[in-house]
Structure 1
Amino acid sequence: MRTQVVIIGAGPSGLLLSQLLHLAGVESVVLERKSPDYVLSRIRAGVLEQGMVQMLEKAGVAERMHKEGLPHDGFTLSVGDTRLRMDLKGLTGTPVMVYGQTEVTRDLMEAHTARGAQVIYDAEDVTPLDFDTDHPRVAWKKDGVTHEIACDFICGCDGYHGVARASVPEKAITTYEKIYPFGWLGILSHVPPCDHELIYSNHPRGFALASMRSHTLSRYYVQVPLDTPLEEWPDERIWDELKLRLGEEAAANMKTGPSIEKSIAPLRSFVAEPLRFGRLFLAGDAGHIVPPTGAKGLNLAASDIHYLSSGLIEYYGEKSSAGINAYSAKALARIWKAERFSWWMTTLLHQFPELGRFNARIQQADMDYLASSKAAQTSLAENYVGLPY
């Protein structure tokens, strides 16, 4: 077998890359170690920057998003006694789109099925080979049979625990990491949201977020210690805690119901440098992780794919290596800005046990400054809706 680009990982970043390359006449094969149902079962982010919306439009998979997605012009911040609505559209001219990652992935899967794309699911023992030469290969097993494909480039879109980054020699890569001392306990429930926009709240008992996937499907989070057993949080306790942390107005409008998904996600910041190793590229969670506080994870993956797809299309269309040579530096410049913003939002909105009363004063001072300064609000809004590619 031979193709031009092998993409490891059939999540939204891998499928988006494959779709954009296809529309430009570049061949690719996607390898995924899990089944399609497993890929769609992953519950992830739901806030899309305008840049990602435009990329989905360019990929020809935005029709359902525009029908069912929820454009949001702002969101509410609540810290201490200060409650502030951030007018994203008024401050930047740009809204965000609430549309779940599962739905983005589903739309991309359907587009791949419609065009008969080569997406190989349940591919075991995927191994990138010879990516430090001009003749890279990828091997894998399927139903007990070993396969191999030759290619020009390998793109690792296979997540934090994937094989792409793990295949890079340790001395060739530098990593930066921060582990936060808490996690997010999240629930998904078939109830209408308590507000038409997101609410981020820092309460003395900890962070809480009121989010949504649709007018009838809500996603809520509360901050909990990392070692919290999930069984200690039955649905009733979660709803009671949300009402306390989100405040009286949200509590009065909150509809409760049984959870259809419940999990605890750790928070970390992580960056790998560089993102290119010969003819192997890393994109999305394979190269970086952000805390979910700033809604940047999926959107950062999309900006990686913007730079990477542009570089590969330029390589094949114009016979120029300029774009792929610049990929790592361009992507990392935007990644670190998003890491900074996500770190700042996390420090603003969470209780850090080791910082105590001092941190509470700093958080309140941050909120007071935001409430009194349009420049500060604009800076937050610009970062939240997404810095330009």
Structure 2
Amino acid sequence: MIRQQISIKYALVSGLLSILLLFPIVSQAQQTLEQLNQALRYSRYSRISPKILPVKESDRTFVLQMPVEKIEENIEFGVYNFSYGILSSFQEPITAQNMINLTEEDLVRETDFHFYFEKKVTIPEEQEMAFALFRATDTRQGDEYYYHADLISPFVFGYPDFWAYYGDNIPFDQNFIVKNDAVEFRGSTTAMLHKFHYPASFDVPLPPMEIRPAAVPREVTVNYQGDFLLNTPKKFEEDGYFLIQSDTNSTKGMMLRTVHDAFPKVKDYDEMVEMVVYISTRKEHESLNAAEDAKIALDQYWIGLTKDEDQAKKLIREYFKQIEFANILFTDFKEGWKTDRGMVYTVMGPPNEVSFKLNGEIWSYLVANSNSKITFTFARVKNILTPNYYILNRSRSLQPEWFKSITLWRNGQMAF
């Protein structure tokens, strides 16, 4: 009788343990694209950077180019588990059934700087929307890196049937190109591409608590620069941004912005003066702009903030490291630091939580010595040049934490 009671107890405990062990699996299986925390996408300490670059073969068939940049040196393939899948919405559960594992045999190419996968997918006719998701899991500490891209959604005007490639045959995985550098455009459905140049420059964005609308140019200059052959290297020599199209009557194209050869780092002292606007008073910035010698003026500015030369050097390194990351992460037709997301990233640092919805992106920061968070919401805006154009929802309620961060910068206490 005692043995039977023990046996029953053991069975109950064993069953309870089985149920408890099941919960994390079920919870993970039921996670959705909308629920994912993609903060690693913007971390200063990420070890890799995955991307999805869709190329359109037909109305519902895409080639998913999936380059994974190796930020950490000497990464071996087996350190990461890679998978991809197609979701019909941001609310569809991410499960083992809709994510396909990628093995070393799936590698199209590996270089010193990239792993590169490529898969063709076809979206069923009855499916109204489609989103590609790439996942890379670091087997050492379990970090999960995600990247998603709309294939069919209201925010996509269409993907081109060509793409640009580096000299090592890896797809061009950024939106900016150094002036006079060359990339090679490749495609299979046409022999010629058309090049449009927009010689535009942009103002610094308004701060988060400024609710008056920003000035909008009444007209945009665009210069058609003719056509050129596919499968030949092409250089971009003018300042501004370019739209490359195979069909000038369509909305599909590839956008590239030209940058100086120091980009994403700072080019010179004049550019430094422009960039410190986020942590300067209006009077300070006007004084810097009016200075005859930008270097001397900046030296005085930084020392004036910290009252200590070593602290000033540390502050300069941190601030312009933020600018560098903003340029890498958020450059579109604007330089990254001039975008709304780049501005918030520069001042507030990398967000603790990042979530995406179809129509927006939400960043959360933990408030020091508090259980509360401050949230920045970026509305996704339809744009023919990029499906990833976001504008900050500005609010006066953001002012207190914004000014706290600026004060930390000015005291040399901001660090990430």
Using structure 2 for the length normalisation, give the TM-score: 0.24
Higher RCO (C-alpha 8 Å, min separation 6): 1
- TM-score between both structures, scaled by the size of structure 1: 0.25
